[in-house]
């Protein structure tokens, strides 16, 4: 505790607490420097250490007042140490931190509190600090007497020197940071919970760059947009996924997210397989530490089903309106009474940085400050006495607000709680609420005082942190390397998606499994020694054959990298790279080399063992001697050659001049190197031979003859041609390999190079053959890699990575492998392979950058978490209408909060250690245990489990509970326990039951009213049918007697009489037409609808053809859509619809010189097929549009246009019986358009028997 140094590996971590303490140290040093003059007078040269046990003497100590003053400002323990290392003084704060009395510190008594694992390090650095007198710091653990809890402390020291620079002692400072370490652990658990929540999100989550290009997308997102391989859409412009209108919305959302902090829109868009869907999309920025957006997060939810339901609801609204009208009136009366219960407000606190308000016993605002009014978007007049605070709270938090108010009225103290508030404009924010009660002199409740702090920014930061952690996991899943982390016990703590293939499942399923349960038994057995070495800190790199459980085999490069922290191996990082292709290439190169070596050995063996040809020539080139081998090759007998033939007779004529020149040089020089010639046999065939010649001279040096060795090299020539072809094939293959491949001989000279040298380094592969590698590399690069090439020549495989500059000016990151070519124990050369891994390097750098940002944000959040932990505890103990308690992994209660005690009625002593099944069904323990076990399993597998049920309190009362059981896991994914949150929903349950009863009553009333209308409609139909038949008889009499009267009068009647008789006859005929229409209208209500496929194209053409017979010289342009669909319906009735609509169009365009009648159609997903008939006729006033479809209703005089007024009424009834509808649009003098709709599937059998809406005669 004097000269204390940090643990190895701790220097890189500097928390905000350490930075603050460093500032405090500097302040203390300045103050100590200022007091040195005064302290120098108080010191004594022969200062006695005090009593034998090391305590200071009773004389006045200047440091006591200094320690007391500092303790009042800083929560730090302090001590003094003499130059020899003896402890002479400790303060009260240090005694409190260690839990020791002052006398217990001396003679190293405080070392008994140091954790056994840290004792050696603390002693070592104590002794070193005393010896060197330097300022240092160290974090270690202590265990206070009488407690098993471990506390974390940071100790620092400041040496003191006199005016001559001699060490006079040291001041030590000790701070308890246990709470900070606990908060960091809880933060990691919360981060893991957030990661699991995002992974289970049902939405399509994407990460975009600032220009809108897709970088990442969750597996659930790929499934929603129907993308089989994410690589197909990686880097694509996200806005192009939408149709034209959706693209504009998407671009606007991206602009807002880059500048305003977020945007949301709803738009239609097809999936990549053409499935039409509606999407609710939120785009928010992912910012760096300075708050600047670096990426965008787009979350799209499939709301297709909801969107379709909304269309259906819109169609049903009109029908439901009449049902709920009576109930709406009652609810309006109730709401009016509620609004009249608000009270007056009191004084406001306008300028506070947080919100203040007070509410009465009913929860109505009586005081509110301007800050909170600005947050909520209301004025003081709108809030005071008129609004309740719970109305501004999100619905899920309102029961909690009611409960808190009741507890305040009872005099209970409440802790702060987080809740969601809704502003006037509909937006929401998160606030921290603190509440106290104000009572009068008699202790009666008057009002509450509440404080609101806006913590939305903190929530957004936590969300962004979660998104980045999820993005980091996604990035590792896309790396084409199998990655996993195992602890010292070889238990899997992390695995990416590629590594999870060993069990054919998700990465999360591997967490907690031993390596032997994942790897094949034979692989685990053979890797035992390497695993042991890696656990002792020795990295392992090797290659081997591996096989997945599905049978797939591959050759892998395997690495075991120890993870070292605080000087100890904490686990292993296992990475495997599939190098099957590289291994195959190496095998092919080695095979080729072996073949070449065999060929050379065979050629050498043939040269050494096979008999060669020998002959001697005189100065004229005539054979003097020749051996049998050469004679056999040439096909001659010895007598035919000796003295008769010369070399000119056994070579090709074209080669004779060369041999003559060779002969002259041989006579002149004495010996010649071997040369190849084509030799001609006696039969005229030719073979290749190698001739080596030497001159034989006499004692005076005169030429006598030549001795020539002839070797048949025909097979060698063939082998060389084959080798050249093999070399060409090898060159072609390697030129297409994505990487640099070369072969250097033992002198480091190029013997092979592929085409990739030209692209990356600008080197011609053919020109560099034979050059030393140093001549082809820049000097700095050669200086860097020379030791590695030398090590490869020594037989050591070399792997390294580095940045390189290409000939095109581009910087790339390469991974190089140098493989020694060892033959018969000697290194013959080096196989060089260089691969461009720039993209992987950039991904790694991005991951490191994200990790650094994540660490920085965690440090920034640590202090906030320190404050929020207390608020969370207060909130959990003071929830209203909510309860929360915690369980261990077996379901036994470990923490029973005050809120749980209030809701369930049990005290902590009754519940701690008990299984929570006790709360489910007290009267049936066996069934309760079964239900509890099932809930625990579901929560552990899914992350959480929800339940709505009746619960029984200790006193026997029942309440309707909404319970959530949440699984709590640590960083490694291990289940640590559960938290259970319950909400009292009894009032909501009763209100729901009441509304259900009211709806049932309304349904019964609607059914009764419908039956009454149907009965009235049947009576009206019977009446109209009877009236129509009864009226026919007098009409027939009128028509008959008019005809008789006309015959009787003959030519006797005057013009007036004839006009009167004509009017009577026309009126009778018109009346007959009206009766016919009325009968048809009545029969339609009783006739059945025969549903069958009806081709509207043929039907319309038939109706138009019939109308065209009566054109009477009119010019009519018929514009008929050529692709009218086939619908389901009654062909005769639907023909009547087209006949009425087209007939009316034809009739009302009569005044036009050139009439135009257009028929078209479209598809409406909500209603089905929609058709229209449009004309350029006289039109009508649109305010009478609905009147058109009544019986006998006309908008034009009969003198202008004939008709009965029954056609459109009949048309409407036909369409309604088919489940459709009709409506009209018009503008007087310009024409009319009649629209009607029919459902896709046609009318149902129940619809065909009667009208969906009762038909009545309209006045």
Rounded to the nearest angstrom, the gap between the alpha carbon of residue 159 and the centroid of all alpha carbons in its chain is 54
Most confident of 34-38, 62-66, 513-517, 988-992: 513-517
16-176: CATH topology is: Beta-Lactamase (3.30.450)
Between residues 360 and 924, which one has the greater pLDDT? 360
At residue 539, the pLDDT reads: 92
- If you ran DSSP here, which 8-state letter would residue 353 be given? S
> In this model, does residue 345 exceed pLDDT 60?
no
Give the model's pLDDT for residue 720. Answer: 67
Fold of the CATH domain 197-302 = Beta-Lactamase (3.30.450)
**CA 509 remoteness from chain centre:** 19
Domain range annotation of the chain: 16-176, 197-302, 336-461, 462-578, 621-736, 739-761+770-836, 881-984, 1088-1249
Are 1230 and 1179 contacting, i.e. CB atoms less than 8 angstroms apart?
yes
> So what's the pLDDT on residue 677?
82
Instruction: Please state the φ and ψ torsions of residue 1137, each to the nearest 5 degrees.
Output: -60, -50
Measured over all CA atoms, what is the biggest interatomic distance in the chain, rounded to whole angstroms? 177
Please name the fold of domain 336-461. Beta-Lactamase (3.30.450)
For residue 808, pLDDT over 90 is answered with no
Please say if the pLDDT value at position 150 is more than 60.
yes
Least confident piece of the model among 132-136, 771-775, 797-801, 1200-1204: 1200-1204
pLDDT at 351 > cutoff 60: yes
Q: How much is the pLDDT for 348?
A: 43
Closest CA to 169 of 160, 178, 181, 156: 160
Secondary structure of 842-891 as H, E, C letters: HHHHHHHHHHHHHHHHHHHHHHHHHHHHHHHHHHHHCCCCEEEEEECCCC
Number of neighbouring beta carbons within 10 Å of residue 653 = 8
Please count the other Cβ atoms lying within 10 Å of the Cβ belonging to residue 238: 26
Helix (H, G, I), strand (E, B) or coil at 1020: helix
pLDDT for res 652: 86
> What integer pLDDT is reported at residue 1189 of this predicted model?
76
**Does 523 have pLDDT greater than 90?**
no
Confidence of residue 1024 (pLDDT cuts 50, 70, 90): low
For position 1159, what pLDDT does the model report? Answer: 94
Which of 259-263, 411-415, 602-606, 1072-1076 is predicted least confidently? 602-606
377-396 confidence digits (pLDDT tens): 998 888 888 899 888 899 99
Position 338 pLDDT exceeds 60: no
The model's pLDDT over 422-444, given as tens digits with 9 standing for 90+, comes to 998 888 888 889 899 988 888 88
Q: Residues 477-489: what's their mean pLDDT?
A: 80
Q: Above 60 in pLDDT, residue 278? A: yes
882 contacts 417 by C-beta, under 8 angstroms: no
Instruction: Say if CB 450 and CB 433 are below 8 A apart.
Output: yes
Q: In the structure encoding, which two tokens stand for residue 360, read together?
A: 């009465």
CA distance 775 to 782: 9
What backbone phi and psi angles, to 5 degrees, belong to 234? -60, 130
- Where does the pLDDT of residue 327 fall: very low under 50, low under 70, confident under 90, or very high at 90 and above? low
Domain 462-578: give its CATH superfamily.
Answer: PAS domain (3.30.450.20)
CB 177 within 8 A of CB 155: no
Provide mean pLDDT across the span 1083-1094.
72
Structural fold of domain 881-984: Beta-Lactamase (3.30.450)
Kindly state the tokens that stand for 704: 């006598």
pLDDT digits (tens, 9 = 90+) for 1169-1180: 999 999 999 888
Q: By C-alpha distance, which of 914, 922, 865, 928 is closest to 885? A: 914
Q: Do the domains 1088-1249 and 462-578 match in fold?
A: no
- Cβ burial, residue 808 (10 Å; 0-12/13-18/19+): exposed
Which of the pair, 326 or 991, is modelled with greater confidence? 991
Pair of tokens at residue 507 = 């990465």
Regarding pTM above 0.85, the answer is no
Q: What pLDDT, on the 0 to 100 scale, is given for residue 331?
A: 60
Residue 64 scores a pLDDT above 50: yes
Give me 322's structure tokens: 């009449």
Q: Give 1245-1254 pLDDT, tens digit per residue.
A: 444 444 433 3
- Nearest CA to 710 out of 640, 650, 641 is that of 650
- Between 118 and 845, the more confident residue is 118
**pLDDT at res. 281:** 92
| Phi, psi (deg, nearest 5) at residue 268 | -95, 140
pLDDT of residue 1025: 62
Q: Is the pLDDT of residue 1199 over 70?
A: no
Sequence-separated (6 or more) residues with CB below 8 Å from residue 866: 179, 180, 183
The pLDDT-based confidence of 638 (bands split at 50, 70, 90) is confident
Mean pLDDT of 1061-1069: 72
pLDDT band at 233 (very low <50, low <70, confident <90, very high): confident
CB 423 within 8 A of CB 375: yes
Torsion angle of C-alpha atoms 150, 151, 154, 159, degrees rounded to 10: -90
pLDDT band at 3 (very low <50, low <70, confident <90, very high): very low
State the Rg of the chain over Cα. 50
The structure tokens listed for 354 are 């947080």
Ranked by mean pLDDT, the top range of 582-591, 669-678, 974-983 is 974-983
At 245, the pLDDT band (50, 70, 90 cuts) reads confident
Q: Which residues pair with 540 in a beta bridge?
A: 560
d(CA 816, CA 1150) in angstroms, rounded, equals: 90
Considering the domain delimited by 1088-1249, tell me its CATH architecture.
2-Layer Sandwich (3.30)
Which of 288-297, 333-342, 1099-1108 ranks highest by mean pLDDT?
1099-1108
Asked if residues 710 and 612 have their Cβ atoms less than 8 Å apart, the reply is yes
pLDDT of residue 263 exceeding 60: yes
Tell me the angle at which helices 456-478 and 178-199 cross, rounded to the nearest 10 degrees. Answer: 60
Percent of the chain at pLDDT exceeding 70: 77
Helices (H), 153-243: 178-199, 219-224
In contact, 1244 and 1219? CB cutoff 8 Å: yes
Question: DSSP alpha helices (H): ranges in 235-303?
Answer: 244-259
- Give the pLDDT confidence score for residue 1234 in this predicted structure: 92
| CB 854, CB 465: distance < 8 Å | yes
3-class state of residue 608 by DSSP: helix
Q: Which residue has the higher pLDDT, 509 or 61?
A: 509
Residue 1042, sorted as left (phi over 0), alpha (psi -120 to 50) or beta, turns out to be: alpha
Position 892 pLDDT exceeds 90:
yes
Percent of the chain with pLDDT over 90: 8
Length of the chain: 1259
Q: Give the helix ranges, DSSP H, for 479-527.
A: 515-518, 521-526
pLDDT band at 949 (very low <50, low <70, confident <90, very high): confident
How sure is the predictor about 1102, in pLDDT bands with cuts at 50, 70 and 90? Answer: confident
Contact status, residue 398 vs residue 390, Cβ threshold 8 Å: yes
pLDDT band, very low/low/confident/very high, at 527 (cuts 50, 70, 90): confident
Domain 621-736 has CATH 3.40.50.2000: no
Top-confidence range, 67-76, 127-136, 558-567:
558-567
Question: What's the confidence (pLDDT) of residue 197?
Answer: 59
- Looking at domain 739-761+770-836, its CATH architecture is 2-Layer Sandwich (3.30)
Nearest-angstrom CA–CA distance, 62 and 51? 18
pLDDT of residue 81: 86
| Separation between Cα atoms, residue 930 and residue 938, nearest integer Å | 12
Once rounded to an integer, what is the mean pLDDT over residues 795-810?
Answer: 88
Average pLDDT over residues 199-226: 85
Q: Is pLDDT above 80 for 620?
A: yes
CA distances to 75, 97, 143, 322, 703 from 177, in Å = 11, 10, 14, 68, 106
Q: What is the mean pLDDT of residues 184-204?
A: 70
- Once rounded to an integer, what is the mean pLDDT over residues 518-524? 86
Give per-residue burial for 406-429: e unless 16+ CB within 10 Å, then b: ebbeeeeebbbbbbbbbeeeeeeb
Is the predicted pLDDT of residue 10 greater than 70, yes or no? no
Condensed to tens digits (0 to 9), the pLDDT of residues 1217-1243 reads 888 999 989 888 889 999 999 998 766
pLDDT above 60 for 7: no
The rounded distance, in Å, linking the Cα atoms of 769 and 751 is 5
672 strand-pairing partners: 693
Phi, psi of 1115, rounded to the nearest 5 degrees: -100, 115
Mean pLDDT of the chain, nearest integer: 79
């Amino acid at each position: 505790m004097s000269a204390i140094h940090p643990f190895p590996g701790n220097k890189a971590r500097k928390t905000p607490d350490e930075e603050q303490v460093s500032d405090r140290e500097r302040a203390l040093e300045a103050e100590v420097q200022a007091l040195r003059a005064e302290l120098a007078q108080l010191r004594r040269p022969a200062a006695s250490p005090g009593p034998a046990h090391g305590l200071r003497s009773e004389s006045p100590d200047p440091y006591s007042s200094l320690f007391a003053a500092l303790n009042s400002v800083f929560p730090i323990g302090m001590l003094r140490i003499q130059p020899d290392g003896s402890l002479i003084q400790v303060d009260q704060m240090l005694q409190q931190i260690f839990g020791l009395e002052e006398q217990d510190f001396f003679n190293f008594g405080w070392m008994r509190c140091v954790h056994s694992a840290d004792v050696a390090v603390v002693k070592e650095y104590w002794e070193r600090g005393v010896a060197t007198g330097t300022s240092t710091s160290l974090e270690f653990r202590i265990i206070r007497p009488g407690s098993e809890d471990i506390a974390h402390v940071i100790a620092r020291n400041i040496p003191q020197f006199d005016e001559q620079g001699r060490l006079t002692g040291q001041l030590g400072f000790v701070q308890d940071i246990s709470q900070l370490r606990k908060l960091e652990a809880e933060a990691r658990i919360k981060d893991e919970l957030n990661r699991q929540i995002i992974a289970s999100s049902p939405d399509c989550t994407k990460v975009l760059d600032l220009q809108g290009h897709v970088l990442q997308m969750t597996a659930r997102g790929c499934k929603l947009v129907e993308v089989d391989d994410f690589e197909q859409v990686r880097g694509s412009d996200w806005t192009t996924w939408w149709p034209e209108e959706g693209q504009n919305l998407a671009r606007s959302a991206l602009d807002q997210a880059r500048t305003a902090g977020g945007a949301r829109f709803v738009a239609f868009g097809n999936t990549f397989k053409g499935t039409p869907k509606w999407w609710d999309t939120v785009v928010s920025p992912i910012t760096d530490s300075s708050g600047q957006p670096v990426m965008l997060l787009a979350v799209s939810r499939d709301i297709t089903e909801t969107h379709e339901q909304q269309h259906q609801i819109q169609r049903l609204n009109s029908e439901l309106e009449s049902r709920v009208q009576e109930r709406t009136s009652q609810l309006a009366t109730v709401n009016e009474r509620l609004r009249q219960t608000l009270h007056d407000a009191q004084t406001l606190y306008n300028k506070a940085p947080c919100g203040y308000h007070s509410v009465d016993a009913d929860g109505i605002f009586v005081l509110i400050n301007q800050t909170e009014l600005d947050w909520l978007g209301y004025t003081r007049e709108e809030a005071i006495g008129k609004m309740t605070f719970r109305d501004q709270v999100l619905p899920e938090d309102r029961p909690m607000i009611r409960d808190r108010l009741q507890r305040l009225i009872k005099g209970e103290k409440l802790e702060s709680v987080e809740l969601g508030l809704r502003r006037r404009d509909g937006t929401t924010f998160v606030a921290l609420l603190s509440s106290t009660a104000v009572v009068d002199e008699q202790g009666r409740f008057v009002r509450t005082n509440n404080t609101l702090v806006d913590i939305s920014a903190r929530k957004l930061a936590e969300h962004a942190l979660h998104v980045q952690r999820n993005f980091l996991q996604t990035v590792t899943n896309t790396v084409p390397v199998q990655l996993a982390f195992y602890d010292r016990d070889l238990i899997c703590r992390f695995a990416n998606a590629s590594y999870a293939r060993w069990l054919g499942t998700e990465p999360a399923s591997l967490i907690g499994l031993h390596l032997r349960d994942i790897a094949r038994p034979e692989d685990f057995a053979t890797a035992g020694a390497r695993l042991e070495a890696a656990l002792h800190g020795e990295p392992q790199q090797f290659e081997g054959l591996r096989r997945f459980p599905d049978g797939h085999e591959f050759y892998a490069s395997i690495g075991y990298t120890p993870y070292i922290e605080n000087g100890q191996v904490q686990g292993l990082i296992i990475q495997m790279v599939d190098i099957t292709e590289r291994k195959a290439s190496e095998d092919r190169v080695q095979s080729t080399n072996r073949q070449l070596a065999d060929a050379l050995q065979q050629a050498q063996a043939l040269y050494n063992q096979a008999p060669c040809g020998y002959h001697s020539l005189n100065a004229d080139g005539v054979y003097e001697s020749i051996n049998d081998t050469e004679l056999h090759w040439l096909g001659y007998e010895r007598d035919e050659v000796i003295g008769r033939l010369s070399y000119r007779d056994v070579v090709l004529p074209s080669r004779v001049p060369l041999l003559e020149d060779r002969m002259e040089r041989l006579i002149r020089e004495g010996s010649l190197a071997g040369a190849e010639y084509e030799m001609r046999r006696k039969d005229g065939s030719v073979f290749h031979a190698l001739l080596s010649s030497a001159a034989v001279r006499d004692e005076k040096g005169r030429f006598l003859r030549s001795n020539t060795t002839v070797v048949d090299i025909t097979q060698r020539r063939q082998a060389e041609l084959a080798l050249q072809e093999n070399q060409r094939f090898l060159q072609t293959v390697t030129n297409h390999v994505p990487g640099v491949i070369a072969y250097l001989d033992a002198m480091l000279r190029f013997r092979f190079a592929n085409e990739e040298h030209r692209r990356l380094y600008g080197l011609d592969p053919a020109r560099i053959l034979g050059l030393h590698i140093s001549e082809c590399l820049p000097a700095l690069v050669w200086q860097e890699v020379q030791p590695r090439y030398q090590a490869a020549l020594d037989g050591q495989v070399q792997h390294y990575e580095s940045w390189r500059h290409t000939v095109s000016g581009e910087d790339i990151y390469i991974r190089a492998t140098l493989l020694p070519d060892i033959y018969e124990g000697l290194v013959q050369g080096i196989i060089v392979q260089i691969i461009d891994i720039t993209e992987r390097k950039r991904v790694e750098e991005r991951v490191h950058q994200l990790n650094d940002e994540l660490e920085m944000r965690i440090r920034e959040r640590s202090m906030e978490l320190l404050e929020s932990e207390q608020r969370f505890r207060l909130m959990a103990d003071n929830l209203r209408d909510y309860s929360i308690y915690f369980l261990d992994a077996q379901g036994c209660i470990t923490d029973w909060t005050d809120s749980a005690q209030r809701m369930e009625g049990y005290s902590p002593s009754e519940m701690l250690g008990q299984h929570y099944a006790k709360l489910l069904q007290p009267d049936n323990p066996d069934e309760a245990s079964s239900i509890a076990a099932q809930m625990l399993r579901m929560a552990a597998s899914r992350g959480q489990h929800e339940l709505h049920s009746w619960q029984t309190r200790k006193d026997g009362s029942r309440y309707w509970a909404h319970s959530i059981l949440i699984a709590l896991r640590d960083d490694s994914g291990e289940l640590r326990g559960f938290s259970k949150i319950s909400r009292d929903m009894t009032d909501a349950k009763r209100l729901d039951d009441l509304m259900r009863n009211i709806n049932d009553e309304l349904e019964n009333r609607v059914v009764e009213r419908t039956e009454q209308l149907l009965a009235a409609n049947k009576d009206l139909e019977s009446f109209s049918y009877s009236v129509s038949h009864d009226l026919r008889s007098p009409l027939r009499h009128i028509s008959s007697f008019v005809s008789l009267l006309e015959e009787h009068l003959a030519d006797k009647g005057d013009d007036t009489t004839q006009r009167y008789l004509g009017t009577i006859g026309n009126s009778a005929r018109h009346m007959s037409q009206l009766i016919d229409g009325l009968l048809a209208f009545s029969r339609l209500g009783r006739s059945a609808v025969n549903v069958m496929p009806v081709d509207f194209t043929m039907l319309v053409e038939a109706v138009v053809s019939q109308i065209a017979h009566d054109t009477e010289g009119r010019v009519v342009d018929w514009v008929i859509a050529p692709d009218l669909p086939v619908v389901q319906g009654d062909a005769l009735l639907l023909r009547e619809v087209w006949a009425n609509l087209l007939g009316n169009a034809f009739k009302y365009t009569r005044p036009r010189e050139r009439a135009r009648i257009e028929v078209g159609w479209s598809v409406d997903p909500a209603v089905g097929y929609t058709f229209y008939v449009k004309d350029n006729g006289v039109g009508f006033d649109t305010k009478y549009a609905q009147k058109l479809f009544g019986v006998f209703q006309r908008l034009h005089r009969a003198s202008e246009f004939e008709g009965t007024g029954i056609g459109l009424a009949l048309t409407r009834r036909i369409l309604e019986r088919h489940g459709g509808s009709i409506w009209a649009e018009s503008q007087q003098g310009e024409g009319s358009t009649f629209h009607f709709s029919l459902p896709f599937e046609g009318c149902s059998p129940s619809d065909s028997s009667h009208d969906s809406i009762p038909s009545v005669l309209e006045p």
